[in-house]
Amino acid sequence: MNIYPEDANIFETSNTDDTSRPKVYIETYGCQMNVNDSEVVASILIGNGYSVTSDINQADIILINTCSIRENAETRVFGRLDLFGQIKKQKPSVLVGVLGCMAERLKDQLLEQKKVVDLVVGPDAYRELPVLIRAAEDGQKGVNVLLSREETYADISPVRLDKNGVSAFVSIMRGCNNMCSYCVVPYTRGAERSRDPQTIVKEVQDLFDAGYREVTLLGQNVNSYHWEGQKGLIKHTVNFSDLLEMVALVDPRLRVRFSTSHPKDLTNEVLYTMAMYENICNHIHLPVQSGSTRILKLMNRKYTREDYLNRIEAIRSIIPDCSISTDIIAGFCTETEVDHDLTLSLMREVGFDFAYMFKYSERPNTKAARHLEDDVPEEVKTRRLMEIIELQGKLSEQSKQADVGKRFEVLVEGESKKSKDEFYGRTSQNKVVVFPKAGHKVGDFVYVEITDCTPATLMGKIVEE
Ligand code: 5AD
Ligand code: SF4
C-alpha cells in the first residue's frame, strides 16, 4: 500500500450537516488502509447516531487513527495528543480516542501516560466503538485491542471522506502473514484474511453507480488474496487475478488500481489479466526494500535481487508501458557500503518511476529488533538515504521527460491547486498531469498531450483522441 508519507497524510473528515448529533472529528495518519479504516469508522458512527466534522473545535469526540510503521509516525501522534489535552482543558466533556496500530501496540503506555486518552481501539474492534464511547462517557476507559481472524468489515460501506467523488479505496483484505523482519504490521494488524469477493464487487458497483471512476484495491499484500467459497456443491477459490478480473468487469469506464504487491507473489497470471483489461491501470507498486540479496534474506523478504529483476522483466515484457514504483529502506541492520551500492545499482537497472524511501527505524518486538543489531550509525543511514533520494530524483525526472510529446488518457480528478483554470488528473501509469480545463468536468476521461514537465508533475493540453 502506498503507505507511508506519515509526515504528510493528515486526512480529515468532511462535514455532515446534522447539528443535533454528537460530532466526531477524525484525523488519520499513515497508509491508505488507515484512510479506508477511518471511512469504516465514520460509517459505523454515523449509523449509530453520530455526525462527522472537519472542525476540531466543534468536536464532541476526537479520534486519531494512528500508524506505527516508523518511530517518527508515533512521535507525531504523541505531539497531537498533547494538543488534544489542551483542547480538553477548555472543554472537559470532549472524549479523545486513539485508533489503529498505535492503539494495538501501545495500549498500556497510552492509558498509563496519556491522561487525555479515553478510548483505545485496535484495527479489528471498530464495530465496538459505539459501546466503548458510551463506557467512556460514563467515566471508564473504552478499550478493545483484540485482533480477529475473521473481521474484514465486509458488510460495511465506508463513508467516503475524501470528497473528490471520483476515486475511492476499497479494502480487499486485512493483516499480513509475511513477517518481514523489520515490520510491525503483522503485530498491529494481525493475520491475513481476505474479504468475500461478492461484497467487494458490490461495493465497487455502488461506487461506480455513485459516479466514481477509479477504485484502488487495498491490502498489505494483495497478490496473496485468497477466498474459498462454495457454489451449491462445488467449492471454488478466487485468487487475486480472478478478483481483478471481476472488478474490471464491473464497467469498462471504471479504472482499477491495486496496492501493495509483494514481489514473491506477483504472478504472470496477474500481469496477463492487467494486459487483457484496458481499464486495469498500468502501474505496479512493487516494494524492493534493498538491492542486496544478503540484506533481503535478513529482512525475510523471501526473494533475491535476481528474483526481483526477473519480476521486472516479466512486467516489461507482458505490459510494456507499465510504470513501476517501489519502497526502499536505507541502513537496515548490518548493511555495508557494498549492500547500499547494490540498492543504487538495482534502482538504476530498473529505472523506477517513483519511490518511497525510508531510513530503517527499529520497531520494538519485531524479528529484527529481537535478533539483529541496529548497527548502522544514524549519520550513515542519513547519507545513504540522501544518495537514494538523489538518484530517485533523477530517475523520476527521466521517467517524466520520456512522456513529453506522448498522449495519455487521463481521469480528471479535481481543480489544480495552482490555478482555477486548470485540472489535475493521472495517467494510467499513475503520473500526475496538470492541464487547462477546456470545458471538461471532474470525472471525465480526456486525452492529454504532454507538453512539458517539472520534477513533480507533467503538464499538457487536452487533444482529440
Ligand atoms: N523502518 C523503515 N521503513 C519501514 N517500512 C516498514 N517498516 C519499516 C521500518 N521498520 C517501510 C517499508 C514498507 C513501507 C510500508 O514502509 O519500505 O514497504
Ligand atoms: Fe510489513 Fe512485509 Fe507485511 Fe508489508 S509485506 S506489511 S513490509 S510484513
Nearest to 155 by CA among 216, 220, 206: 206
Q: What is the CATH number of domain 164-281?
A: 3.30.750.210
Rg (the chain; Cα; Å): 22
The DSSP element (H or E) to which 41 belongs, if any, is helix 32-46
Cβ distance 75 to 36 under 8 Å? no
User: Averaged in consecutive runs of 10 residues, what is the pLDDT profile of the chain (465 residues)?
Assistant: 43 55 95 94 96 94 96 94 95 96 96 92 97 95 94 93 86 96 96 96 96 96 93 86 98 97 97 98 98 98 98 98 98 98 98 98 97 98 98 97 97 94 97 95 97 94 89
DSSP reduced 3-state for 71 = helix
Residue 187 and residue 135: Cα distance in Å, rounded? 26
Closest CA to ligand 2's atom 2: 180
Cis peptide before 260 (omega within 30 of 0): yes
> Do the two domains 164-281 and 282-402 of this chain adopt the same fold?
yes
The DSSP element (H or E) to which 226 belongs, if any, is strand 226-231
Domain 407-463 of CATH type 3.10.50.30:
no
Cβ distance 12 to 38 under 8 Å? no
215: left (phi > 0), else alpha (psi -120 to 50), else beta?
Answer: beta
Indicate whether residue 182 lines ligand 1 (CB < 6 A): yes
In sequence order, which residues have a C-beta less than 8 Å from that of residue 10 and are 6 or more positions away? Answer: 27, 28, 29
- Cβ-based burial of 371 (10 A; exposed 0-12, middle 13-18, buried ≥19): exposed
3.30.750.200, 3.40.50.10800, 3.30.450.20, 3.40.50.2300: which CATH number matches 282-402? Answer: 3.30.750.200
Q: Which ligand is nearest to the CA of 178?
A: 2
pLDDT reported for residue 190: 95
Q: How far is the CA of 358 from the centre of ligand 1 (A)?
A: 7
Give the residue ranges of DSSP H helices in 210-333: 240-248, 268-276, 293-298, 305-318
Backbone angles phi, psi at 20, to 5 degrees: -80, -20
Cβ distance 170 to 82 under 8 Å? no
- Cβ-based burial of 91 (10 A; exposed 0-12, middle 13-18, buried ≥19): exposed
In sequence order, which residues have a C-beta less than 8 Å from that of residue 285 and are 6 or more positions away? Answer: 1, 2, 259, 260, 261, 324, 325, 326, 327
Q: Which ligand is nearest to the CA of 388?
A: 1
Cβ distance 326 to 284 under 8 Å? no
Cell triple for 464: 482529440
Give the bridge partners for 393, in sequence order. none
Percent of the chain whose predicted confidence (pLDDT) is above 70: 95
> What class does CATH assign to 9-144?
alpha beta
Cell triple for 139: 467515566
Indicate whether residue 30 lines ligand 2 (CB < 6 A): no
Cβ distance 95 to 117 under 8 Å? no
Residue 430 and residue 433: Cα distance in Å, rounded? 9
Q: How far is the CA of 104 from the centre of ligand 1 (A)?
A: 18
Ligand 1 mutation target, pool 2, 69, 374, most atoms within 8 A of CB: 69
Q: What does the domain layout of the chain look like in residue ranges?
A: 9-144, 164-281, 282-402, 407-463
DSSP reduced 3-state for 97 = strand
Q: What is the pLDDT of residues 249-295, one digit of tens each?
A: 999 999 999 999 999 999 999 999 999 999 999 999 999 999 999 99
Indicate whether residue 221 lines ligand 2 (CB < 6 A): yes
End-to-end CA, the chain: 32
Indicate whether residue 183 lines ligand 1 (CB < 6 A): yes
Ranges of beta strands (E only) in 71-126 are 95-100, 119-121
pLDDT reported for residue 426: 97
In this structure, is the dihedral angle defined by the CA atoms of residues 133, 138, 142 and 148, taken in order, positive or negative? negative
Q: What is the pLDDT of residues 162-209, one digit of tens each?
A: 668 999 999 999 999 999 999 999 999 999 999 999 999 999 999 999
User: Which atom of ligand 2 is least distant from the CA of 179?
Assistant: 8
Indicate whether residue 327 lines ligand 1 (CB < 6 A): yes
Task: Look at the block and give the residue holding cell 519480476.
Answer: 311
The DSSP element (H or E) to which 215 belongs, if any, is strand 214-218
CA angle 292, 296, 301 (to 5 degrees): 150
Residue 72 and residue 68: Cα distance in Å, rounded? 9
The DSSP element (H or E) to which 142 belongs, if any, is strand 142-144
Indicate whether residue 1 lines ligand 2 (CB < 6 A): no
Residue 174 and residue 151: Cα distance in Å, rounded? 8
